[in-house]
Amino acid sequence: MNDKLNDQSVVRAIHESPGQHESPGQHESPGQHESPGQTRRIAPQRHRRRSIRLPGYDYSSAGAYFVTICTQNRERLFGEIVDGEMRLNDAGKIVAHEWMNIGKINNEIELDEWIVMPDHFHGILIINVAVGAIHESPRQMTIVQRRNMTLPKLIGRFKMLSSKSINIIRNTPGVPVWQRNYYEHIIRNHESLNRIRAYIANNPAKWKMDHKKPTH
């Protein structure tokens, strides 16, 4: 991966997220049962939890991914940047809530650095596939095959649930929140992981520079 990271260079693959039109089943929207103050305490705009693996660890063997998901038409739906920091609105808090739920309800998933930005989301996650779970699969899938199936399902569910809750609070049923595709980059080593962590952490500070219009 290049040392200089941007939305175009860090991502190597584009996928369509399945499950965006699936029925979410019984799921509680964070906006329905929590006040904005409560949501802010459990859903910060940037997550600093870090993997404790050793520097020489092969992250690709565990399925470490950097994912980027953009809003439909790059609409700034999730808040604004103020003094170099991301300030989430209610829609942004929902996105943060749903992403954190991925790590809470999936024992195989480890969340690392992530951030909600006004018109996109960046996150690092590690898919730890248990050997026993693979052997129990009727298709006898390999670890790589199972990871390749797991990631699109996770992203699809995340997009579906966050979209539904956001459309409830803004009274826009069925309106797309996210772009159909998402971007992924496989993290292969500790150095790559740290570069991407820094890229995510610096996103708010770089926002004004990246979006500054030239003066004439």
Write the pLDDT tens digit of every residue in 111-138. Answer: 999 999 999 999 999 988 653 343 344 5
Please tell me the CATH superfamily of domain 13-208, with its number: Transposase IS200-like (3.30.70.1290)
pLDDT band at 159 (very low <50, low <70, confident <90, very high): very high
Both tokens of residue 179? 């772009």
Given this model, what pLDDT does residue 205 score? Answer: 92
Q: What integer is the mean pLDDT of 43-62?
A: 56
Both tokens of residue 143? 């670890």
* Residue ranges of domains in the chain: 13-208
| Angstrom distances, CA of residue 193 to CA of 39, 182, 197 | 28, 19, 6
Q: pLDDT at residue 201 above 60?
A: yes
> Which residue has 């904005």 as its token pair?
36
What is this structure's pTM? Answer: 0.72
End-to-end Cα, the chain, rounded Å: 36
Contact 21, 160 (CB under 8 A): yes
Write the pLDDT tens digit of every residue in 77-101. Answer: 999 999 999 999 999 999 999 999 9
Residue of 55, 51, 57, 173 whose CA lies nearest to 112: 51
**81 DSSP β-pair partners:** 86
Residue 120 half-sphere exposure toward CB, CA atoms < 13 A: 18
DSSP 216: -
